[in-house]
Structure 1
């Protein structure tokens, strides 16, 4: 091969390599731009949905107040009583609006927006722990996975909260549960509802695992959808917490032999997990576990990674009447009087 042929060969090879490289670069650039555009569209949609959710949530209290004023006016007209002083100014306007409210028995609440798919599709729950969990926290997370049907447990690893939230949204997860511990004892649980919230923070105490319960050897973990028992959740805050816990479970069948109990006493929610068997003239009840007490201390109007989300409610420990009030129920039993000697 002469010198001229060598130069022509190498120049042609270089041109071909440059052509292939340019095509490859254009392909990767277009793929990157398409993926970036998709991410931007998703982010814009999330921001738009979040904005509409926050706006609807801000109107909820106002709609509730207007509804209660209309009900007071309606009761006064039906019973022939005099109007309250605060209603006399707006009585004419509220009276005109009463004609259009006959079909509405109750104003819309957070359930209509946050849990609109409840009862139509089953919840999809992801359970994880804090970083570097102990063996007891891992065991507790495994038992919590058995408590909630349609739930999946994942190892935390090095994932940050933002990555967990993005993964939940991408896979249509309805709720994320994060368990925390202190010195090897589970002490906190976070329940975050997707895609827009709320997020409820609980403290945990008196945690007993399945092997710590006396009836553990005679019980098995049922996979049936459980019946739910909620006791003493009568206040507005109690109904709010009850809805968050209730919609973690799918709709059970009538013949289900599994029961979950959430009993509120002095704002401490006792959780119990039982199975029962009907025999002639009696019912045999066996506790499955786990068993623990939980107390809510904060509710945020957003998901777990949104630090800027508005606080809907925060437990006030250091107020003068904190020990006398019951937040989750309207009534609170009085203190036991000591008998005089």
Structure 2
């Protein structure tokens, strides 16, 4: 069993690295082709490789079926075939407020289960989740009773996304407490424009199953200055007028890291993207809403 898991993991990492190399070359080809068509100056990072890339452009053939290298090895290629199965837990020795927040968080995801952390180690939890066909594993951390960190780990091989949580308002802290609906929700994603934003959107939206048309439950992820505001509402028509009620909870998420691995292999996992707030241009850049055609480094994927 262990040898089989190691072999499958090696095969997955090899396919993922091959896909990454192909994606980088394809992006450079597209930038060069745009520069040639518009008769503009070639980007500085492409000038040394411009002649080689131009030779490769002759052999570009589009597949009419839309089958590309990017969707051959995709962690979410079977999403939608079956409903996701989610396990939610906390850090060790959680406070009463964190337990309350995790209970409310469990009700947001259909087909989710909450587990007491206890003294279990991460390897034991990952092994148990893989054995029971869990698709996503979520951990919520706290600081002095206030939830401050959310980790979403997609199984069996990753990725693992790390978010900061701020502005948490529980359901019972809202002025009007509305009963929690357990329908499969419709999702709204606003202002997700870059490739990193699409990656983040895939991680979040595949936590939820495909809803029915008659569902009256809506969840909104609105991006503003790289802060993802989450709101949960139900709606109904009263005298032909739409009436919207907030159910809660509400909070804000800020992505700061994505790793190509699971929680039990974080030390050996490759970093797919990481926030660097100490850089001079960090305050000006928006990673989820602005796409300036920036050519990425060979050591960075986004």
TM interval, short-chain normalised: 0.7 to 0.9
Paired residue for 1:259?
218
Normalized per residue, the structure richer in helix is: 1
Structure 1 residue 98 displacement after superposition? 2.4
Judged with a 3 Å threshold, the aligned counterparts in structure 2 of structure 1 residues 212 and 76 are, in CA distance, closer, same or farther, namely closer
Q: Name the CA distance, whole Å, in 2 between partners of 1:284 and 1:238.
A: 31
**Counterpart secondary structure, 1:98:** coil
Task: Tell whether the 8 Å contact from 1:273 to 1:291 is kept in structure 2 after alignment.
Answer: yes
Task: Tell whether the 8 Å contact from 1:73 to 1:83 is kept in structure 2 after alignment.
Answer: no
Task: Tell whether the 8 Å contact from 1:123 to 1:250 is kept in structure 2 after alignment.
Answer: yes
Task: Tell whether the 8 Å contact from 2:160 to 2:261 is kept in structure 1 after alignment.
Answer: yes
Corresponding position: 1:177 with 2:138: yes
Paired residue for 1:66?
25
Judged with a 3 Å threshold, the aligned counterparts in structure 2 of structure 1 residues 55 and 220 are, in CA distance, closer, same or farther, namely same
**Deviations along 1:57-111, whole A, 9 cap, x unmatched?**
212232223334554677689x69699665443434431x324x33264744378
Q: Which runs of 5+ in 2 are unaligned?
A: 293-302
Paired residue for 1:281?
240
TM-score in terms of structure 1 length:
0.78
Paired residue for 2:283?
323
Judged with a 3 Å threshold, the aligned counterparts in structure 2 of structure 1 residues 65 and 300 are, in CA distance, closer, same or farther, namely closer
**Counterpart secondary structure, 2:203:** helix
Task: Tell whether the 8 Å contact from 2:92 to 2:118 is kept in structure 1 after alignment.
Answer: yes
Q: Name the CA distance, whole Å, in 1 between partners of 2:153 and 2:11.
A: 19
Q: Name the CA distance, whole Å, in 1 between partners of 2:95 and 2:31.
A: 56
**Counterpart secondary structure, 2:263:** coil
Match of 1:152 among 113, 123, 128: 113
**Deviations along 1:148-184, whole A, 9 cap, x unmatched?**
0110001111111111111101101000000111101
Q: Name the CA distance, whole Å, in 2 between partners of 1:273 and 1:72.
A: 40
Structure 1 residue 194 displacement after superposition? 0.3
Corresponding position: 1:91 with 2:54: yes
**Higher relative contact order (CA closer than 8 Å, sequence separation 6+):** 2
Q: Name the CA distance, whole Å, in 2 between partners of 1:144 and 1:111.
A: 33
Q: Which runs of 5+ in 1 are unaligned?
A: 1-41, 333-341
Alignment of 1:166-205 (within 5 A): 166-205=127-166
Judged with a 3 Å threshold, the aligned counterparts in structure 2 of structure 1 residues 329 and 110 are, in CA distance, closer, same or farther, namely farther
Structure 1 residue 112 displacement after superposition? 4.6
Match of 1:208 among 169, 192, 200: 169
Judged with a 3 Å threshold, the aligned counterparts in structure 2 of structure 1 residues 196 and 75 are, in CA distance, closer, same or farther, namely same
Larger Rg: 1
Q: Name the CA distance, whole Å, in 1 between partners of 2:190 and 2:138.
A: 23
Judged with a 3 Å threshold, the aligned counterparts in structure 2 of structure 1 residues 298 and 76 are, in CA distance, closer, same or farther, namely closer
